[in-house]
A = this chain, B = another copy of it.
């Protein structure tokens, strides 16, 4: 009662478990059980769990929609918004990608997307790297907080002290204010798009 499995099968099941129960549900034993396989079988396809998480992060990043606007400031805003939206699609998605990014394993593609947009803006390589770093850390950090807050509220763990009228400080508009602040800081060094 077994069956051969593929890397892609593992990743598909992992995403399903993540979407359903977040990072706490993403355990090797459950992935294996879902595939009717021994847990040790997973270690033939991935060196360890961290590598699996990195592949998952890459997959999420690849699904981020490309910006369609013209003009680098709008394109940058759009890319940030699209990244946040994709992270929010998966439970604990921001936390997962932020962790993988910190471990320098996955999410390397994300920073290249940002740098690509900043090249178009006419920044030097160094300036583009700096701006990409600031933007990416903001999007990942903000969205991690936002998602954690949302999921805590969903579980009824609401702190009445910090949210008096159910108005949280989070949301698309609040998020975009941060993005625009950074874009303003880029402006002086960039050519007009």
Contacts and interface: CB of A to CB of B under 8 A. Distances in A.
A149 interface: yes
A139 to B, nearest CB: 9
Interface stretch (A41-49, A56-64, A130-138): A130-138
A183 interface: yes
A37 interface: no
Given A102-B95, A104-B149, A184-B188, A178 B130 contact: yes
Interface in A88-112: 95, 98, 101-104
A144 B177 CA distance: 24
A101 B140 CA distance: 13
A149 B133 CA distance: 15
A177 B104 contact: no
A145 B104 CA distance: 8
Given A95-B102, A141-B140, A169-B129, A182 B134 contact: yes
Contacts of A38: none
A167 to B, nearest CB: 13
B130 A177 contact: yes
A156 interface: no
Contacts of A137: 137-138, 140-142
Nearest to A182: B185
B178 A134 contact: yes
Contacts of A13: none
A64 B130 CA distance: 24
A148 interface: yes
Interface in A111-140: 126, 129-131, 133-134, 136-138, 140
Interface of A: 95, 98, 101-104, 126, 129-131, 133-134, 136-138, 140-142, 144-145, 148-149, 152, 162, 169, 174, 177-178, 181-186, 188
